[in-house]
Structure 1
Amino acid sequence: MTDAFTQPLVEALSRITVLDQADAAGREWLAAHAEERTYEAGEDLFAPGQPAEWMLLLLAGEVHILQPDTGEPFIFVHEGDVSGVLPYSRMATIRAHARAVRRSRVALIHKRHFAELLRELPDVGERLVWMMADRIREQAVSETHREKLMALGKLSAGLAHELNNPATAVQRAAAQLGTLLTDLQVSAAGESPIGTRLCDATAEEPDPLARADNERALRQWSRTEGLDIPRDALAALADAGLGVQQVTELIAGVQKEAIAALIVRTTMAWRARVLVSDIERATTRIADLVGAIKEYSYRDQAAVQTIDLKASLERTLTVFTPRLKHGVTIERTYEPDLPVIEGNAGEITQVWTNLIDNAVDAMQEQGTLRVGIRHEGDAVLVTIGDSGPGIPPDAARQIFEPFYTTKPMGEGTGLGLDIVRGIVRRHRGSVRVLHSRPGDTVFEVRLPTGTAAKEEIDGDHVPAS
């Protein structure tokens, strides 16, 4: 295979994504009008204050666009990408450093050739114009999206607050009632061993077949002994995991005429306590969900904050519980001692929301959802994968483009992944399809560790066009 740094420029230009439909003549025209350069790792391609004159085609390597004030990367240019000035751009001065992070080969097209480029390669020119329009639109969509997120966050946080008070009150009352019912059960049973045994019995689901056998045997025993015990009381004994042998041992010494009343009293108290336990578990679940929604919305918090990515992912999964619990298995792979990142927690949550929503849709809510986090150098990598049918090869190149969707008409806007890309870029990260094949599609989000500049995350900084 030809090395990317020694390959003839005409052939190397085929590596550029926007040129994938350009013919040999088109690539030859570009090669004739391009200035080819090679940069070593750490070398600057552009610097703030320089005239904005060049369109950059990255043939090999990787280039980061750095924040002017902190020097931290916020845009990642990979092999095959186009950056710098594009046709119809009004930018006159470079506002950020462009630095090679490893040895890179680029082809530079001066803006004086743009008019001729649009004539000679109209299809490529059209894609470049759309690329610039996407940059502008991305900023506008970002602002609109942020406003909607803020409004939704306030609404969900308000609802969560209102739900939290009654849920907490019910949870507290259920706990107190459970204690009272336990005392009542002990009092009702007196010194009877069956009462003590039922006080210790849990409401765990017994084996259905064993439980049905126990209930039939208890009914037969009640009739044979002439005890006339109500069927509900016998069913409760079976629910508690008791059979004929255990019951007869527990009521040994009790006068026959008192057995039925004793069993009715103790089973009624036990069933009431079980119902209270069910209420307590349900309200605890409500409280957990409310807590997740409150943290999910991040109400009244600053735009830039410390984010625990594992906790952020888990909160999002909690919110998705209704869609996951019936047919989706979750596989988690989290490295220990993961570093935190600095960013807008609400926006980061939106990234997970969109990626998980797409994964669940792809699997039609039946399959395996795989989430993982690992640390690599100065970045944290989050992967979200699914066992769906995979992304069609012809769709892979367009998957992040706005308004492009593989979902049926009316089921998707085509903005989800575009929003994800915009948010990740504002956090100086990158997102890509790591791989996609039937049964295994994985998206990878790379986010840098360290402190993010507030103005960048707030979307005030606009990269060079």
Structure 2
Amino acid sequence: MADPFTQPLAEALARVAILESVDDSGRAWLAERAEDRTFEAGQDIFVAGETAEWMAMMIAGEVHVLRPDTGEPFIFVHEGDVSGVLPYSRMVTLRATARAVQRSRAALLHKRHFPDLLRELPEVGERLVWMMADRIREQAVSETHREKLMALGKLSAGLAHELNNPAAAVQRAAAQLCTLLTELQESAAGEAPIGRHLCSTTAADPDPIERADHERALRQWSRAEGHDIPRDALAALADAGLGVAEVTELLAGVPREAIAGLVVRTTMAWRARALVTDIERATTRIADLVGAIKEYSYRDQAPVQTVDIKASLERTLTVFTPRLKHGVTIERAYEADLPPVEANAGEITQVWTNLIDNAVDAMQERGTLRVAARREGDAVVVEIGDSGPGIPPDRVRQIFEPFFTTKPMGEGTGLGLDIVRGIARRHKGGVRLLHSRPGDTVFEVRLPTGAAAREETDGDHVPAS
């Protein structure tokens, strides 16, 4: 195929989607009236605040339209697309800046030619009207989505704050109660070796068959010896992994009439301590979840800081626990001594969130989620993969486009990977689909380490078909 940067403009205009069916004379008419411009990476095509006068027909390259408040890209213009002012548009002043992210070529048509364009090439005018309608709809959806995310962030921040105080209080109380119960159990342990043994034993997770055998044997032993020990106490001994032989040995020397009462007291203390330990673990889990939610809620306010990638990935997995615990197996592969990255911690967490969410959805919450991180030169490379059905080959090249989604109607906005790409680029990194086939889809995120942040991105691309 001819070089898009050296082709005569009339021929090169055939690369623009809305002009594919226009004949040579029609493209020649346009070429006579358009300005043929080439832009280098980083060069502005349009600047916010300028008078809106030009329609840009992209022949080669890629251009990002940046939000005026944050500088974040929210519209991506590729080869074959049309941007800028369109016929019938009422835009007077440009509200955003359009910047080339790689060497690009565009044909710029001034709006004074629009009446002639609509008269000479009416089929093109019709397509441009539909394009303007689509643009308005997409921008409305984008703004609505953004407003909802902001509202959700404020709501989750408030909930996290309200949950944090009671969760922390319960956690402190559980820790203190566990300490008191341990001291109480130790003070009573001098009655017999069985008390000292249970005092030093934590709640186990014994083999169910072995535990059932122990409990059955202990009930038979209790009846045969005439001890009349309650079944709950015998069950606690089995939970602690004790059988008849061990219990008989630990009760050696205890008066026969005191055995039942001693077993009840020591097993009750052991069970109480085990329950408090469970409460402490649960409240610690709640505190971890609240911390993760708070990090999400304040991600837009978080400054650039040193980020531990492994810890960031693990916090994100913690948030996904409700969706992962029933049918998803997690395979981790973290290289030792991963270097930190200088980044906005909340935004980096959002990258993991979107990729993991897509992976879990693809597997329908049943399968294997693979999370790996390694160092490559001056970058940390993170791979997130899943065992889902894979991305259809005919859709691979569209996955990073805003509003494109493979999910059913109403289940996806098509903004997740677009957000991931924007965040990666702001951090002078890149994201790409490494490969996708049934049972093995992997996305790769590359982030520069510390002071090694590069001046240019690694680029976002998909594997060659």
> TM-score interval w.r.t. the shorter chain?
0.7 to 0.9
SS at match of 1:160: helix
Match of 1:268 in 2: 268
* AA matched with 1:133: I
Do the aligned partners of residues 238 and 81 (structure 1) sit closer, same or farther apart at CA in structure 2, a change above 3 Å counting? farther
Please give the secondary structure, in 2, of the residue aligned with 1:190: helix
Structure 1: runs of 5 or more not aligned? 452-465
Partner of 2:291: 291
Deviation for aligned residue 1:244: 1.6
Q: Give, in angstroms, the shift of residue 157 of structure 1.
A: 2.3
The Cα of 1:237 is off from its aligned counterpart by 0.9
Cα pair 1:421 1:431 within 8 Å, conserved: no
Cα separation, partners in 2 of 1:309 and 1:96, compared to 1, 3 Å: farther
Q: Which residue of 1 aligns with 2:328?
A: 328
The 8 Å contact of residues 428 and 448 in structure 1, kept in 2 or not, is answered as no
Task: Describe the shift of the 1:271–1:448 C-alpha distance in structure 2 as closer, same or farther (beyond 3 A).
Answer: closer
1:33 paired residue number:
30
Deviations 1:32-91 (A, max 9, x none): 7347979696695847679853514243x5566799999x99579676353652423546
Matches within 5 A, 1:17-166: 18=17, 25=22, 29-30=26-27, 33-34=30-31, 44=43, 46=45, 53=54, 55-59=56-60, 61=61, 74=73, 80=79, 82=81, 84-88=83-87, 90=91, 98-99=99-100, 101=102, 104=103, 106-111=105-110, 116=117, 119-121=122-124, 124-126=127-129, 128-130=131-133, 132-133=135-136, 136-137=139-140, 141-142=142-143, 144-166=144-166
Contact 2:306/2:341, CA 8 A, preserved across alignment = no
CA distance in 1, matches of 2:114, 2:342: 44
Task: Give me the TM-score of the superposition, normalised by structure 2.
Answer: 0.73
**Structure 1 residues 58, 321: closer, same or farther in 2, change over 3 A?**
farther
Q: Which has the higher contact order (CA 8 A, sep 6+)?
A: 1
Aligned residue for 1:337? 339
Tell me the amino acid that sits aligned with residue 122 of structure 2.
R
* CA shift in 2, pair 1:254/1:298, >3 Å: same
Distance 2:128 2:366 in 1: 43
Deviation at 1:210, TM superposition (A): 1.1
Query: Using a 3 Å threshold, how does the CA distance of structure 1 residues 420 and 447 change in structure 2: closer, same or farther?
Result: farther
In terms of mean alpha carbon deviation, does 366-375 or 252-261 score higher?
366-375
The 3 A distance-change label for structure 1 pair 92 and 156 is closer
Which residue of structure 1 aligns with residue 259 of structure 2?
259
Query: Is the partner of 2:329 in helix, strand or coil?
Result: strand
Aligned counterparts of 1:152 and 1:93: Cα–Cα separation in 2: 30
Q: 1:283 to 1:337 in 2, by over 3 A?
A: same
**C-alpha distance in 2 between matches for 1:297 and 1:172:** 25
Deviation (angstroms), 1:248: 1.8
What is the deviation of 1:240? 0.3
**Alpha-carbon contact 1:218-1:244 (below 8 Å) kept:** yes
How far apart are 1:208 and its partner, in Å? 0.8
Q: Would you say the 8 A contact 1:42–1:99 is kept in 2?
A: yes
3-state secondary structure, aligned to 2:105? strand
Match of 1:213 in 2: 213
Shift of residue 199, structure 1, vs aligned partner: 0.7
Judged with a 3 Å threshold, the aligned counterparts in structure 2 of structure 1 residues 99 and 450 are, in CA distance, closer, same or farther, namely farther
CA distance in 2, matches of 1:99, 1:406: 28
Q: Which segment drifts farther, 158-167 or 146-155? A: 146-155
Distance between the aligned counterparts of 1:372 and 1:14, measured in 2? 44
1:421 and 2:418 aligned: yes
Q: CA RMSD in A?
A: 4.7
Measured in 2, the distance between the counterparts of 1:207 and 1:369 equals 28
2-structure distance, mates of 1:95, 1:41: 19
Distance 1:408 1:297, change over 3 A: same
For residue 356 of structure 1, report the CA deviation from its aligned partner. 3.8
> Structure 1 residues 275, 384: closer, same or farther in 2, change over 3 A?
same
CA contact (8 A) 2:328 2:366 kept: yes
- Report the 3-state secondary structure (helix = DSSP H, G, I; strand = E; otherwise coil) of the residue aligned with 2:275: helix
Q: How many residues align?
A: 435
Q: Which residue does 1:222 correspond to in 2?
A: 222
Contact 1:390 1:437 in 2 (8 A): yes
How far has the Cα of 1:394 moved from its partner? 6.0
Deviation at 1:148, TM superposition (A): 3.6
Q: What is the deviation of 1:440?
A: 3.7
CA distance in 1 between partners of 2:379 and 2:74 (Å):
14
Take 2:98 and 2:379, find their aligned partners in 1: how far apart are those partners? Answer: 20
Report SS of the residue matched to 1:365. coil
| Kept in 2: contact 1:39–1:100 (CA 8 A) | no
Q: For residue 137 of structure 1, what is the amino acid of its counterpart?
A: A
Cα deviation, residue 206, structure 1: 0.6
Q: 1: distance between equivalents of 2:304 and 2:404? A: 32
Consecutive unaligned residues of structure 2, counting only runs of 5 or more, are 452-465
Q: Which moved more, 1:269-278 or 1:384-393?
A: 384-393
C-alpha separation in 2, matches of 1:83 and 1:400 = 18
Give the 3-state SS of the residue equivalent to 2:341 in structure 1.
coil
Q: Distance in 1 between matches of 2:435 and 2:13?
A: 24
Q: Is the 8 A contact 2:199 2:270 kept in 1?
A: yes
8 Å CA contact 2:198–2:267 kept in 1: the answer is: yes
The corresponding residue for 1:170 is 170
Q: Do 1:40 and 1:100's aligned partners in 2 also have CA atoms closer than 8 Å?
A: no
Q: Which residue of 2 aligns with 1:278?
A: 278
Residue-by-residue CA offset, 1:389-441 (whole Å, 9 max, x unaligned): 334456667767777665555x53x43x2376368548855877665443344
For residues 196-247 of structure 1, what are the alpha-carbon distances to aligned partners after superposition, in whole Å with 9 as ceiling and x for unaligned? Answer: 1111111121111111111122222223333322222111111001112212
TM-score, with structure 1 as normaliser: 0.73
The whole-number CA distance in structure 1 between the counterparts of 2:107 and 2:78 is 14
Q: Which amino acid aligns with 1:189?
A: A
Conserved in 2, the CA contact under 8 Å of 1:296 and 1:315? no
